[in-house]
Amino acid sequence: VHSIRDRALLILLYRTGMRIGELLQVKVDDIILSEQTILLYVGSKNYEGREVYYSSDAEQALKDWLRTRDKTKRYLFYGRSDQPLSYGSAWAVMRKALERAGLSDKGYSLHNLRHTFATDMINHGMRVEVLQKILGHQDIEMTMRYARLSNQRIEEDYYRAMRIITGEGESDAPYRRSTALQKVFEEKKLHKSYKKKLS
């Protein structure tokens, strides 16, 4: 993505998990640069007011855009007048990026960036209840729809856990045990101890 504005728009969606409708309503005054935080306010009945955070690469893209944008505009991303950028204009940004990447025929949408964010967070250890707050879901079942582990991640976690259970040692990669799995490990250790006492 070559445009400073377009890069900021897409990377903020991908790194924060915001809905496109939420991002388009963000005003410059809603951004707390010192804390890498954006304040979101209550929108429709399914939108919860909350804070969202952004990564260092999103921070750089945001700062680049803040330096070059029209300082008289209230909204972070604006149209021709002092109004938010339209959804159609935001989608045009995404469509051009997909075309450049050769992905225009894959059926991707702006919402896929939110889905990808959620899946990445879960796959790298974020708890579902934390992700629920970040995404602004009132019902955790909505979060679970996004939190789909990739088959590769499931396979990796299976063999990592199995090496521990069977006593073959833990892999070098960090492994965060779930409560249920921890119980399995403890039962396995107790089983070993019991066998030693009998022998």
* Amino acid at position 186, single letter: E
Q: At which residue do the structure tokens 């070098």 appear?
A: 172
- 3-state DSSP assignment of residue 51: strand
Structure tokens belonging to residue 25: 């309503």
Which segment, 88-92, 123-127, 193-197, is predicted with the most confidence on average?
88-92
Residue ranges covered by each domain of the chain: 4-119, 155-198
Q: How far apart are CA 52 and CA 16, in angstroms?
A: 6
45 against 10, higher pLDDT: 10
- 3-state DSSP assignment of residue 78: strand
pLDDT value of residue 161: 82
pLDDT value of residue 199: 42
Q: How far apart are CA 12 and CA 156, in angstroms?
A: 29
Is 19 in the active site?
Answer: yes
Q: How far apart are CA 153 and CA 142, in angstroms?
A: 21
135-158 residues labelled b (16+ CB within 10 A) or e (exposed) = bbbeeeeebeebbeeeeeeeebbe
Structure tokens belonging to residue 115: 């889905």
Is 111 in the active site?
Answer: yes
Note the pLDDT tens digit of each residue in 76-108: 999 988 899 999 999 999 999 999 999 888 889
Catalytic residue among 5, 7, 15, 114: 114
Q: How far apart are CA 149 and CA 126, in angstroms?
A: 12
Least confident range from 45-49, 134-138, 194-198: namely 194-198
162 pLDDT band, cuts 50/70/90, is confident
Is 177 in the active site?
Answer: no
Q: How far apart are CA 30 and CA 54, in angstroms?
A: 13
Structure tokens belonging to residue 79: 């149209």
116 against 47, higher pLDDT: 116
Catalytic residue among 14, 15, 19, 75: 19
Catalytic residue among 63, 74, 100, 111: 111
Sheet holding 50-53, edge to edge: 31-32, 37-40, 50-53
Is 45 in the active site?
Answer: yes
- Residue 94: CA count within 13 A, CB half-sphere: 22
48 pLDDT band, cuts 50/70/90, is low
Q: How far apart are CA 17 and CA 33, in angstroms?
A: 18
Is the pLDDT assigned to residue 170 strictly greater than 90? no
Is domain 4-119 annotated with CATH 1.10.443.10? Answer: yes
- Counting beta carbons within 10 angstroms of the beta carbon of residue 159, is it exposed (0 to 12), middle (13 to 18) or buried (19 or more)? exposed
